[in-house]
Structure 1
């Protein structure tokens, strides 16, 4: 298994790919900050419409990214992420919702799932953990946004559980990709957040929290989501981890922390062929 950046052969556009997802069944990709038309703090492939970038430039960026993925422009579905753990099941009637107008995006949701072919799901990130899920047997997919609040609320586990209930998926068949996110090297949290994770995930504590010399903690969000997926029944050999820290690599990916809070958003896209 591996995660690598692949050239889309247009205007310095690079797309992150996991080897775990069969190309004959799924289209997927994670954007970088390169290859777009935005400027300044949002240079250049900002895909977030909610960060005070010029909307027309973001729309162009989204079209550029979908072209690079080989997907029809405007065909995706997006949501208004709120750092929670709500999940929405997307149907064909939702095609295009939120692609060019943020106010039309599905509200109060941090994970999207579907079993509709040709309906790309797209979520946005700038340090939070992208979680991509695909069942090649039931032909169902999900994409989840694992910020610290959503991770604490079990967004990864809940998305798998939703797919099992809604589509009849078996966890041992589900493939997962955990994308670039802020790593424990750069993600320091206070005692209150750390205690919340200790309480929610007592079996994970030694794996996900390391105390600093200043009395705070380094929290490993990607690892926490990985362990949730394992706890929910996914096989270790079916989980592909990027192991890329967005804060350490903020010239390649947008990072809310490393960029001082004013920055763009990368996107994770997943679609059934």
Structure 2
């Protein structure tokens, strides 16, 4: 399987991983994920930290965001983001929301972990340091969305909630939606303890029964009160259950835990690290 997120890093610019198959097929669409290099932040956020909530100097974070927007050839005024809370609320974004949160947290869309829009000229963004970035595009209704899924959002099925919200707000049919799962911590690096297992296990068992998939592909228990979670696969199965065709789902092999040379990892760096961004936007054809 070809890795869907292809890197394009210049000697001077920010490290960017483009969702090239979507961009090649759909005029005016940009989508991808940032790496950790090519910014101006100092230690321990070195160097392309895009999160305002991790203790970095706000001016440097805003400068990093401007660098990314400039590299994407998008105006910084289009950068639109939410204050994420590890929930499952999906927010419809209109042109009036354009630019929310780009320079400060107070201006971000409140209490929201998924954004969707059918507006052109709006660059949706979301922040990560191990959680799962999920991308959606409906080329029929011209709708895009981003969802942020840590283990809590996964249990709340934000991946399904986003599909249902696209259908309710814009008339999107699940069979027409394409989805992608971006760089995030893999089962190789994500060990959890009993309290998390107890929250995740009912979902894993239900998906396993309904979709005839092995539970071990989603959660591998070691018999000693620990388990390794595959959040990417759990979210993939949630989207399939929501009606997205398996052939319409791109799945990265990139693990933020394994590749701290490329990405920030909250778990591998003991919480003292920066944040990457997922982005998606449409321009007029």
Correspondent of 1:142 among 133, 137, 145: 145
- SS of the aligned residue for 2:33 comes to strand
- SS of the aligned residue for 1:84 comes to coil
- Residue 48 (structure 1) aligned with residue 13 (structure 2): no
Whether the 8 Å contact between 1:127 and 1:256 is mirrored in structure 2 is yes
Gaps (5+ residues) in structure 2?
A: 209-214
- Residue 259 (structure 1) aligned with residue 269 (structure 2): yes
Once the two structures are superposed, residues 108-154 of structure 1 have per-residue CA deviations (whole angstroms, 9 ceiling, x without a partner) of 10000110011010000000000010111100011000011000000
- For 1:96-245, list aligned pairs within 5 A: 96-202=99-205, 203-204=207-208, 205-212=215-222, 214-245=224-255
Runs of 4+ in 1 over 3 A off after TM superposition: none
* CA distance in 2: counterparts of 1:212 and 1:57, whole angstroms: 43
Using the size of structure 2 for normalisation, the TM-score is 0.92
Once the two structures are superposed, residues 93-118 of structure 1 have per-residue CA deviations (whole angstroms, 9 ceiling, x without a partner) of 01111000111101110000110011
- SS of the aligned residue for 1:244 comes to coil
Using the size of structure 1 for normalisation, the TM-score is 0.96
* CA distance in 2: counterparts of 1:87 and 1:4, whole angstroms: 24
Whether the 8 Å contact between 1:8 and 1:68 is mirrored in structure 2 is no
* CA distance in 1: counterparts of 2:274 and 2:26, whole angstroms: 28
Whether the 8 Å contact between 1:10 and 1:68 is mirrored in structure 2 is no
How well do the aligned residues superpose, as a CA RMSD in angstroms?
A: 1.4
Match of 2:14 in 1: 13
* CA distance in 2: counterparts of 1:264 and 1:215, whole angstroms: 30
Compute the displacement of 1:206 (Å).
Answer: 3.3
Once the two structures are superposed, residues 190-213 of structure 1 have per-residue CA deviations (whole angstroms, 9 ceiling, x without a partner) of 122212222123233332111126
